[in-house]
Structure 1
Amino acid sequence: MKKKKTVVIGFVGTKLDNYRGRSRWDKWRPSIALTQHQDLGIARFELLYSGPFESLVEQVAADIGSVSPDTQVVPHALALRDAWDFEEVYGALFDFAKRYPFDPDNEDYWIHITTGTHVVQICMFLMTEARFFPGRLVQTSPPRSPGSGTTGSYALIDLDLSRYDQIAQRFSREQMEGVAFLKSGIATRNADFNTMIDEIERVAIRSRSPMLLMGPTGAGKSFLARRVYELKKARHQVQGRFVELNCATLHGDGAASTLFGHIKGAFTGAASDRPGLLRSAHKGLLFLDEIGELGPDEQAMLLKAIEDKRFLPVGSDNEVQSDFQLIAGTNRDLSADVVAGRFREDLYARINLWTYALPSLRDRAEDIEPNLDYLLAQFGEEQGHMVRFNREARVRYMRFARSPEALWTGNFRDLWASVTRMATLAQSGRINEAIVGDEVARLQRLWRPYAGRGSPETAGLEALMGHEAASRLDLFDAVQLEAVVKVCRQSKSLSDAGRTLFGVSREAKNKPNDADRLKKYLARFKLDWEQVSAI
Structure 2
Amino acid sequence: MARRQVVFGMLGTQLDAGEGPGRWQKWRPTVSLGMHEDFLPDRIELLLDERRYSKLARVVCEDLAQAAPGISVQRHDTYLADPWEFEGVYASLHDFLARYPFQPEEEDYYVHITTGTHVAQICWFLLTESRHFPGRLLQTSPPRKQDGAAGTYAIIDLDLSRYDHIAQRFAQQQLLDRDLLKGGIATRNAAFNRMIEQIETVATRSRAPMLLMGPTGAGKSQLAKRVFELKKLKHQLPGRFVEVNCATLRGDGAMSTLFGHTKGAYTGASSDRAGLLRSAHQGLLFLDEIGELGQDEQAMLLRALEEKRFLPVGSDREVESDFQLIAGTNRDLQQSVLEGRFREDLLARLNLWTYHLPGLAQRMEDIEPNIEFELERWSLDQHARVRFNTEARTRYLAFATSPEAAWRGNFRDLGASIMRLATLASAGRIQIEGVEDEIARLRAQWRGGDAPSPLDALLGEAVDALDRFDRVQLEEVVRVCARSKSLSAAGRELFAVSRTQRASTNDADRLRKYLAKFGLDWEQVRGPAR
Q: 1:70 to 1:450 in 2, by over 3 A?
A: farther
* Equivalent position of 1:370 in the other structure: 369
Q: CA deviation at 1:385?
A: 2.4
Query: Is residue 70 from structure 1 mapped to residue 37 from structure 2 by the alignment?
Result: no
What secondary structure, in the 3-state scheme, does the structure 2 residue paired with 1:175 have? helix
Q: CA deviation at 1:393?
A: 1.2
The one-letter code matched in structure 2 to 1:117 is: T
- Range with bigger deviation, 422-431 or 157-166: 157-166
* Equivalent position of 1:173 in the other structure: 172
How does 1:254-293 map onto structure 2 within 5 Å?
254-293=253-292
Q: Distance in 2 between matches of 1:59 and 1:414?
A: 66
* Equivalent position of 1:110 in the other structure: 110
Q: CA deviation at 1:129?
A: 1.0
Q: CA deviation at 1:80?
A: 3.1
The one-letter code matched in structure 2 to 1:16 is: L
* Equivalent position of 1:472 in the other structure: none
Q: CA deviation at 1:230?
A: 0.6
Q: Distance in 2 between matches of 1:58 and 1:384?
A: 51
- Range with bigger deviation, 127-136 or 33-42: 33-42
* Equivalent position of 1:227 in the other structure: 226
Q: Distance in 2 between matches of 1:280 and 1:165?
A: 42
Query: Do the aligned partners of 2:111 and 2:138 also contact (CA within 8 Å) in 1?
Result: yes
Q: Distance in 1 between matches of 2:76 and 2:57?
A: 10
* Equivalent position of 2:2 in the other structure: 3
Q: Distance in 1 between matches of 2:150 and 2:169?
A: 34
Query: Is residue 394 from structure 1 mapped to residue 430 from structure 2 by the alignment?
Result: no
Q: 1:137 to 1:339 in 2, by over 3 A?
A: same
* Equivalent position of 1:308 in the other structure: 307
- Range with bigger deviation, 127-136 or 429-438: 429-438
How does 1:505-516 map onto structure 2 within 5 Å?
none
Query: Is residue 190 from structure 1 mapped to residue 180 from structure 2 by the alignment?
Result: no
Q: Distance in 2 between matches of 1:63 and 1:240?
A: 38
Q: Distance in 1 between matches of 2:358 and 2:247?
A: 21
Q: CA deviation at 1:11?
A: 0.6
* Equivalent position of 1:237 in the other structure: 236
The one-letter code matched in structure 2 to 1:345 is: E
Q: CA deviation at 1:162?
A: 6.5
What secondary structure, in the 3-state scheme, does the structure 1 residue paired with 2:139 have? strand
Q: CA deviation at 1:247?
A: 0.3
How does 1:6-155 map onto structure 2 within 5 Å?
6-50=5-49, 51-147=51-147, 149-155=148-154
Q: Distance in 1 between matches of 2:57 and 2:158?
A: 29
Deviations 1:250-301 (A, max 9, x none): 1111110100011111111111111100000000000000000001111111
Q: CA deviation at 1:439?
A: 1.3
* Equivalent position of 1:214 in the other structure: 213
Q: Distance in 2 between matches of 1:38 and 1:219?
A: 56
Q: Distance in 2 between matches of 1:168 and 1:341?
A: 49
Aligned residues: 449
Q: 1:81 to 1:450 in 2, by over 3 A?
A: farther
What secondary structure, in the 3-state scheme, does the structure 1 residue paired with 2:287 have? strand
* Equivalent position of 1:429 in the other structure: 428
What secondary structure, in the 3-state scheme, does the structure 2 residue paired with 1:53 have? helix
Q: CA deviation at 1:21?
A: 2.5
Q: Distance in 2 between matches of 1:424 and 1:52?
A: 57
The one-letter code matched in structure 2 to 1:184 is: G
Deviations 1:462-510 (A, max 9, x none): xxxxxxxxxxxxxxxxxxxxxxxxxxxxxxxxxxxxxxxxxxxxxxxxx
What secondary structure, in the 3-state scheme, does the structure 1 residue paired with 2:101 have? coil
Q: CA deviation at 1:168?
A: 5.6
What secondary structure, in the 3-state scheme, does the structure 1 residue paired with 2:417 have? helix
Q: Distance in 2 between matches of 1:392 and 1:144?
A: 79
Query: Do the aligned partners of 2:7 and 2:110 also contact (CA within 8 Å) in 1?
Result: yes
Deviations 1:85-115 (A, max 9, x none): 2222111111111121112222111101111
Q: CA deviation at 1:22?
A: 2.5
Q: 1:255 to 1:80 in 2, by over 3 A?
A: same
Q: Distance in 1 between matches of 2:200 and 2:371?
A: 24
Q: Distance in 2 between matches of 1:113 and 1:438?
A: 64
The one-letter code matched in structure 2 to 1:110 is: Y
Q: Distance in 1 between matches of 2:426 and 2:95?
A: 41
Query: Do the aligned partners of 2:48 and 2:79 also contact (CA within 8 Å) in 1?
Result: no
Q: Distance in 1 between matches of 2:266 and 2:93?
A: 53
The one-letter code matched in structure 1 to 2:133 is: F
Question: TM-score, with normalisation over the residues of structure 2?
Answer: 0.82
How does 1:492-511 map onto structure 2 within 5 Å?
none
Q: Distance in 2 between matches of 1:18 and 1:425?
A: 69
Q: CA deviation at 1:81?
A: 2.3
Q: CA deviation at 1:23?
A: 2.4
Q: Distance in 2 between matches of 1:160 and 1:276?
A: 42
Q: Gapped runs of 5+ residues in structure 2?
A: 451-530
What secondary structure, in the 3-state scheme, does the structure 2 residue paired with 1:137 have? strand
Q: Distance in 2 between matches of 1:40 and 1:146?
A: 21
How does 1:439-450 map onto structure 2 within 5 Å?
439-449=438-448
Q: 1:79 to 1:162 in 2, by over 3 A?
A: closer
Q: 1:161 to 1:89 in 2, by over 3 A?
A: closer
Q: 1:334 to 1:162 in 2, by over 3 A?
A: farther
Q: Distance in 1 between matches of 2:159 and 2:293?
A: 41
Q: CA deviation at 1:143?
A: 1.8
Query: Do the aligned partners of 2:112 and 2:137 also contact (CA within 8 Å) in 1?
Result: yes
Query: Do the aligned partners of 2:42 and 2:72 also contact (CA within 8 Å) in 1?
Result: yes
The one-letter code matched in structure 2 to 1:266 is: A
The one-letter code matched in structure 2 to 1:24 is: R
What secondary structure, in the 3-state scheme, does the structure 2 residue paired with 1:377 have? helix
Deviations 1:115-136 (A, max 9, x none): 1122111111111111111111
Q: Distance in 1 between matches of 2:210 and 2:438?
A: 37
Query: Do the aligned partners of 2:178 and 2:200 also contact (CA within 8 Å) in 1?
Result: yes
How does 1:324-339 map onto structure 2 within 5 Å?
324-339=323-338
What secondary structure, in the 3-state scheme, does the structure 1 residue paired with 2:448 have? helix
Q: Distance in 1 between matches of 2:422 and 2:80?
A: 43
Q: 1:166 to 1:420 in 2, by over 3 A?
A: same
* Equivalent position of 2:509 in the other structure: none
Give identity over the alignment, percent.
63
Q: Distance in 1 between matches of 2:82 and 2:19?
A: 25
Q: CA deviation at 1:146?
A: 4.1
Q: CA deviation at 1:82?
A: 2.3
When the two chains are superposed, the root-mean-square deviation of aligned CA atoms in Å is 1.6
Query: Do the aligned partners of 2:128 and 2:134 also contact (CA within 8 Å) in 1?
Result: yes
Q: Distance in 1 between matches of 2:225 and 2:81?
A: 37
- Range with bigger deviation, 326-335 or 16-25: 16-25
Q: Distance in 2 between matches of 1:105 and 1:145?
A: 40
Q: Distance in 2 between matches of 1:142 and 1:312?
A: 53
Q: CA deviation at 1:163?
A: 7.7
Q: CA deviation at 1:450?
A: 8.2
* Equivalent position of 2:524 in the other structure: none
The one-letter code matched in structure 2 to 1:112 is: H
Q: 1:408 to 1:450 in 2, by over 3 A?
A: farther
Q: Distance in 1 between matches of 2:168 and 2:89?
A: 19
Q: Distance in 2 between matches of 1:282 and 1:297?
A: 21
Q: Distance in 1 between matches of 2:327 and 2:377?
A: 27
Query: Do the aligned partners of 2:263 and 2:272 also contact (CA within 8 Å) in 1?
Result: yes
- Range with bigger deviation, 153-162 or 127-136: 153-162
Q: CA deviation at 1:161?
A: 5.3
Q: 1:162 to 1:328 in 2, by over 3 A?
A: farther
